[in-house]
């Protein structure tokens, strides 16, 4: 079983909808990353969290360390948000090694 699990694997939404992508992990972590992979293949870091909540534009990321769970929310979704969203964790004493979830394919229809 993967140490980092994401749900759902695939998500289709209508433009304007509020979207939530979940990430659960089974190991102790020092930080959690959310990444976005565009349809063209490029990967962009969205957030790095070790506690609480962060917001950037229409994107919000939260983490609950006790429950080993993080969520990525997208408000007022737009077709340009269509991408694969990947959760990754850094375990303590692992240097900067990222352990990845399998990703969530999001499609936002106009």
Partner 1 sequence: DTAVSQTPKYLVTQMGNDKSIKCEQNLGHDTMYWYKQDSKKFLKIMFSYNNKELIINETVPNRFSPKSPDKAHLNLHINSLELGDSAVYFCASSQGPAGRWQYFGPGTRLTVT
Min. distance of Cβ 86 from partner 1 in angstroms?
7
**Which 3 state secondary structure label does DSSP give 87?**
strand
Binding pattern for the stretch 7-46 against partner 1, x by CB under 8 A and - elsewhere? -----------------------xx-x-x-x---xxxxx-
Query: Is 90 one of the binding residues for partner 1 (CB under 8 A)?
Result: yes
* Residue from 7, 12, 94, 109 binding partner 1 (CB under 8 A): 94
What's the per-residue H, E or C state across 20-74? EEEEEECCCCCEEEEEEECCCCCEEEEEEECCEEEEECCEEEEEECCCCEEEEEE
Interface residue with partner 1, options 19, 49, 74, 88 (CB under 8 A): 88
Rounded to whole angstroms, the Cα distance separating 108 from 110 reads 7
Kindly list the residues in this chain that would bind partner 1 in the complex (CB under 8 A). Answer: 30-31, 33, 35, 37, 41-45, 48, 84, 86, 88, 90, 94-98, 100, 102-103
């Amino acid at each position: 079983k993967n140490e980092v699990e994401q749900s759902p694997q695939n998500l289709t939404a209508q433009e304007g909808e509020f979207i939530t992508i979940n990430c659960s992990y089974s190991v102790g972590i020092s930080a959690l990353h959310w990444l976005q992979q565009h349809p063209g293949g490029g990967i962009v870091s969205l957030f790095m969290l070790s506690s609480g909540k962060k917001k950037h534009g229409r994107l919000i990321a939260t983490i609950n360390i006790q429950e080993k769970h993080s969520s990525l929310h997208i408000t007022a979704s737009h077709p340009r948000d269509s991408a694969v969203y990947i959760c990754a964790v850094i375990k303590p004493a692992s240097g900067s090694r990222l352990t990845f979830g399998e990703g969530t394919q999001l499609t936002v229809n106009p």
